[in-house]
Structure 1
Amino acid sequence: MNPTLNRLHTSLPASSQNSRIESIDVLRGLVMVIMALDHVRHLFHSTAFTDNPLNLATTTPALFFTRWITHSCAPIFVFLSGTSIYLQSQRKTKRELSIFLIKRGLWLIFTEVTIVTLGITFNPFYGALILQVIWAIGSSMLILGLLIHLPFRLILSIGLAIVLGHNLLDTPEAVPGFKPGLCWAVLHYPGKYRFAVDHQINYDYPFMPWLGLMLVGYCAGVFFVSTVTRAQRRMILTRTGLGLIAFFILLRFSNTYGDPLVWSPQKNGLFTLLSFINVQKYPPSLLYMCITIGPALLFLAVIESLRNRLTTVMRTFGRTAFFYYIIHWYLIHTLCLIAFLMRGHAWAAIWKIPKAIKFIVPGEGVSLPVVYLIWGLVILTMYPLCRWYDAYKTSHQKQWWLSYL
C-alpha cells in the first residue's frame, strides 16, 4: 500500500475545499474525443465486423494503432471518475456522498440498458442489451457508495488487491471448456449471454477489475486537493506515471503474469512491438491498466500549467462527458443509417441482417482515411452542442438533476 496516499489523506482538514481541477477535465475531454474515433471505426470501417484490428496476421500498423490508442479511454475515464468522487468527498458528508453515489450508480446502469443500448444498436426491440463502460462505472459507483464509509487505507487496500490480483483468475479461465457460473461471469468473465430466443446480453465489462481501478482512482484524489501544491502534484504524478510504465515493461517482458495474452517475436521489429503492447481489455488486465494509466498521469503532470485553445475545447468536452457520450452514439449511428441507405439498401433489409447492431452489413464500409474524416465531422458537430450544454449547466447549477448528467 502506498503510504504517501494515506499520509496525504490523513493530513487533510475536514473542511478542505477544492476548486475544480481543470487538467482532469482536459484529459477527460481528450479521452472522449479519442473514444469517438473507435466508435466511428467500429460502425464504419469495412473490416470492423469481419476481423479484429488487433489481429497481427491481418492488420496494418495504422489500423492497429487506431484501435490500440483508444484502449486508454475506458480505464482513464473510470480512474478519473474515482478521483472526482474523492474531490466530492471534500465537500459532502460521507452519508450525502454515499446516497448520491448509490443513486447515480443505479441511474447509470438504467441509462446503459435503455438509452445507451438504443443508441448503439438502433434496435427498438432491444434484441441485445449492451453492458459496457457506463455499466462498469455505474456498478462500481454503486459499490463505492457502500464502501465509502470504510477507512481510507482499507479502500486503498481493496482497490490495489483487485488491480494487482484479479489476473490470478486467468489460470482457471484458460482451462479448455471452462464455463463460469453466474457470479464468476458478472465479476470477471465477458461474453454474450442469451436470456430469450431473440434477446441477449452483450457483457463486455465485468465490473470487478473496473471497481478496483475506480477505488485506486478515488484514493489518488488526495493528489488533487488544495493542500497539495502544483509542483508537488507534478512530481508525484510524473514519478508514478513513469513507475507504472517501467512496471509494465518489466512484467510484460517476463510473459509470466498480468495479462493472459502472451507476446512473441513477429515478422519484424514493428510487429514484435505491436505484439508486446497488445494487452487484454476484456476484462482489463493489470498490464492494460498500467500502460493506459501511466501515460495518463504523465499527461496530467504536464497539462495542468497549459492554457490554450485546444485545452479550452477539451475542457468543454470533459465537463460534459456523459452528455457527450449519449449524444455521440446517436449521431454516429444516424450517419451510419444514412450511409446504409445511400448504399442502396431498403429500409426493410435491416431486419434480415442477423446483427445486434442495425444498419450494419458485415464486409461493407469505408477505408480507414474515410473513418478519420467521419470522426472529424462528429467532433465538429459535438463541440457546439457540448458548449451549449456546459453553459446551461453553469447557469442552472441549483437544478439537482444536472448532477446526474
Structure 2
Amino acid sequence: MTSVTEQGSKRILSIDVLRGLVMLIMALDHTRDFFHIEAMTGDPLNPDTTTGMLYFTRFITHFCAPTFVFLSGLSAYLSAQNKTPAQASKFLFKRGIWLIVVEIVLITLGITFNPFYNAIVLQVIWAIGFSMIFLALFSRISYKTVLVTGFLLVFGHNLFDLFPAPSNIYSDVLLKVFFTASGTIFPIGKEHIIADLYAVLPWTGIMFLGYGAGKWFKREYDVKKRKINLLNFGAAALVLFVALRIAGVYGDPIPRKEYHDVFKNLLSFFNVSKYPPSLQYTSLIIGVGLILLAVCEKFKNKLSKVFATYGSVPFFYYVIHFYLLHSILVVAFFASGYTKKDIINMPFMFRPNTFGFDLWGVYLIWIVVILALYYPCKWFKKYKETHSKWWLSYL
C-alpha cells in the first residue's frame, strides 16, 4: 500500500488525487452557471446550438458527481474497517442526516443568496446524504447485499423509462424524489419551491458500487491485482457504454439524435443523461473514473500533492466555493450596472438572465477561485491532521 498512501498518513493518495481533480473541475461548472452569458437561457450540450468549447466545458464536468459519489462509497468502506459494524452504521446514518440538513440550510443559501429560502435546491449532497442512510442500513446486512443492490439500482432504474409506474399524486412524488427527478420543481405555497435535481436511488447505486470496490483498497490487498481490477472493470464499463449507445434500446431516456454532420453526431453520441444518471452515463463516467484511479496509483509529484490537498477536504471546499463564487457574482452584478431591482431572479439572487460573460471570462474566474481556495484547503487539511475533535469526522 505504500505506493498509494502518503508517508505517515492513513489516507490513500490516489483517492485524494482523483477526488481533488474532480472537485476542481466541478467548480468550473458552477462558475459557468453563475457567470456564463448563456447559462440561464441555453443548453451547452445541445448539438444544434452549442460550440465545441462550450460543449467540452459542460461535458467534462459530468465526471465530477458520479466519481465523487463513487469515492464516497469507497471511503465509507475503508472508514468502516476501523469500527464495529454497529459503529460504522450509526456514523453513516448520522452523517447522512447531517448532509441533508447542510444541503438544505447551508449550501442552498450559498447557491441562491436568498435568506428567505424561497427556493431550496437539492443536489449532490442531498443525494449523498440519503445514500449514506441507505448504506448504513444495507451494510448491516452484508457486504454482498450492498454490492448486489448497487448493481440492481444502476442497471435497473432505467426500466422506468420503458415501463412507467402507475400514477397518482403520492406515487408521482415518491417516484420523482427517488428515481426520476430531473430539475423537478415542487411548489410549497405561493412563494416557495423545492428544486429537486438529483433523484436519490440511482446515485445510491453508484455509492454502493463504490463501497463494493473498497475491498480492493484494504491494506492486505495486492496492489498489482487492484490496479488490474480497476483497469479491467473500467474498460468493461466503457465497452458497455459504447454497446448500449450504439444499440439505443436501453440505458438512457433520451434517444441519440442522428445528424448529417460528423461533429454533431460525435457530440450527440456522448450527450447522455445525468439527471438522473442513466446506465449509459454511469458506464461512461465510472469507466473513465476507474481507469483514472488506476493511473493515480503512480501519480506522485507536486501536482498530485496539489490535487490531494483539495481532495482531502472535499466537504470544506465544496461549501466555501459556492459562497466565494456568489460573493464574486455580487461584485460583478453591481459592476455591470445592475441595480437593486434586478437582484431577485429565482432560484438565484444577483443573477439576471441577461447577465454574464463570454466563456473566456468564465475560465478566468474559475482559475482565480480555485487558486484562492488552495491555502484555506491546505490549512484545513493540516488542522484535521493535527486535531482529533469528534466533529471533524463530519466535515
TM-score tier by shorter-chain length is over 0.9
Partner of 1:266: 259
Equivalent runs, 1:18-37 vs 2, <5 Å: 19-37=10-28
Q: Secondary structure at the match of 2:55?
A: helix
State the distance in 2 between where 1:306 and 1:50 align. Answer: 40
State the distance in 1 between where 2:273 and 2:56 align. Answer: 15
Query: What is the CA-CA distance between 1:227 and the residue it aligns to?
Result: 1.7
Partner of 2:380: 389
Which ranges in structure 1 are unaligned for 5 or more consecutive residues?
A: 1-17
TM-score, length of structure 1 as denominator length:
0.92
State the distance in 2 between where 1:96 and 1:132 align. Answer: 27
CA root-mean-square deviation: 1.8
Q: Deviations over 1:62-110 (max 9, x none)?
A: 1011001101111001100000011112111110001101110000000
State the distance in 2 between where 1:181 and 1:239 align. Answer: 39
Do the aligned partners of 1:120 and 1:333 also contact (CA within 8 Å) in 2? yes
Query: What is the CA-CA distance between 1:196 and the residue it aligns to?
Result: 1.3
Equivalent runs, 1:6-405 vs 2, <5 Å: 19-173=10-164, 181-190=172-181, 191-351=184-344, 354-396=345-387, 398-405=388-395
Query: What is the CA-CA distance between 1:195 and the residue it aligns to?
Result: 1.1
State the distance in 2 between where 1:263 and 1:84 align. Answer: 35
Q: Which runs of 4+ in 1 moved over 6 A?
A: 174-179
State the distance in 1 between where 2:382 and 2:309 align. Answer: 9
TM-score, length of structure 2 as denominator length:
0.94
Query: What is the CA-CA distance between 1:176 and the residue it aligns to?
Result: 12
Q: Secondary structure at the match of 2:298?
A: coil
Do the aligned partners of 1:180 and 1:189 also contact (CA within 8 Å) in 2? no
Q: Secondary structure at the match of 2:193?
A: strand
Q: Deviations over 1:9-45 (max 9, x none)?
A: xxxxxxxxx9421100100000100000000001100
Distance 1:245 1:403, change over 3 A: same
State the distance in 1 between where 2:165 and 2:174 align. Answer: 18
Percent identity for Structure 1 against Structure 2: 46
Partner of 2:5: none
Do the aligned partners of 2:139 and 2:145 also contact (CA within 8 Å) in 1? no
Q: Deviations over 1:335-374 (max 9, x none)?
A: 11111000111234313xx421010111321001111111
State the distance in 2 between where 1:362 and 1:283 align. Answer: 25
State the distance in 2 between where 1:342 and 1:175 align. Answer: 52
Query: What is the CA-CA distance between 1:177 and the residue it aligns to?
Result: 12
Q: Secondary structure at the match of 1:33?
A: helix
Partner of 2:6: none
Distance 1:367 1:175, change over 3 A: farther
Which ranges in structure 2 are unaligned for 5 or more consecutive residues?
A: 1-8
